[in-house]
Amino acid sequence: MIARLRSLTIRWTSVVPALAVVLLILSWGRDLAPVVVALVTVVLAGAVLAAVHHAEVVAHRVGEPFGSLVLAVAVTIIEVALIVTLMADGGDKGSTLARDTVFAAVMITCNGIVGLSLLVASLRHGTAIFNPEGTGAALATVATLATLSLVLPTFTTSKPGPEFSSVQLTFAALSSLILYGLFVATQTVRHRDYFLPVTRQGDVITGDDHAAVPSSRTAVISLSLLGLALIGVVGLAKGVSPTIEDGVEAAGLPHAVVGVIIALLVLLPETIAALRSARRDRVQTSLNLALGSAMASIGLTIPAVALASVWLSGPLVLGLGPTHMVLLALTVVVSSLTVVPGRATPLQGGVHLVLFAAYLELAINP
């Protein structure tokens, strides 16, 4: 009887995503009291952990690199919906939200997540081992997308200010989609082995010896619950965004900090999943998550905001300022030097984390 009761007990990872969606429906479009904000924050944290669990189940079923791709794309699609919604509600303040959030995602993934993953793996296992061919291809795509979408608008002259003209924005959107699609095809079809974890002897790891592969039914259920959890994460993040904006304004911080906080919340599932992989000496999976999320953030957000700009009033500012361009250039150079050897020590992880800390400091004190 006890065993039967235990079998009927619903795990918290199944309850929390549904609870997050219910709370999202009840709180959508309303001014939240401080107590409700605290409740939303707790449920938001639970939804993040549930999303990580279900993403790992799906990833274990479909294998790498498909598992990393599922989580990165799922989070980014909902992140794009959040950005467009906030832009529609934000008026003139929303003109830079897409730029701030996308650039924050690039810095969080390429320096924060990468740095933490390399540091954790190298401290635990001596050195962090990964595949330079796949990681280098991902980094090159991220650098190209970031330059085309976030750097060039600062220097174009067809339209005043750091903005693209309609033709230039269309070109950037189409280029982003083409490059992202080409990368996904490379990652999952023609050169899939470049994105699989490797052993310290250089052999490709094609499976996970530590746990049985879940059934198709379990994977489908986890995929559905992953979708619910991510909807809850991003929707509840939007719900607390007015509180975040009020807090940022009351503290006298730049409005760009709002984009940083939103990106930090949205990227929590990838961060936790990447750290777990790094602890298991699957650094390539961590890098797939980090760089894949950066790529998806640009490759899907820019086309979405380009389309949304047709009916949204106000300017769409995408060009970075000089300080952020220097940080982006330094990130690309340091990441290239990190990727080339195919292995990293705690030093490389620390360098990336210092760059991430510099980004946070300059976001608060520009």
Q: What is the pLDDT of residues 94-111, one digit of tens each?
A: 677 788 888 998 999 999
Provide the pLDDT for residue 248.
Answer: 77
Q: What is the pTM of this model?
A: 0.80
Give the separation between CA 207 and CA 186, rounded to whole angstroms.
20
Provide the pLDDT for residue 5.
Answer: 39
How deeply is 290 buried, as exposed, middle or buried, from its count of CB atoms within 10 A (0-12, 13-18, 19+)? buried
How far lies 363's CA from each of 100, 155, 156, 248, 288, in Å?
Answer: 10, 22, 24, 12, 26
Provide the pLDDT for residue 108.
Answer: 94
Provide the pLDDT for residue 236.
Answer: 80
Using an 8 Å Cβ cutoff, are 276 and 83 in contact? no
Give the separation between CA 286 and CA 277, rounded to whole angstroms.
6
Residue ranges of domains in the chain, CATH in brackets: 14-25+32-364 (1.20.1420.30)
Tell how far CA 63 is from the center of its chain: 20
Which residues of the chain, if any, have pLDDT below 50?
A: 1-10, 209-210
Query: Rounded to 5 degrees, what angle do the CA atoms 171, 175, 177 make?
Result: 120
* Alpha-helical segments (H) within 251-345: 256-266, 268-279, 283-308, 322-339
**Amino acid letter for position 47:** A
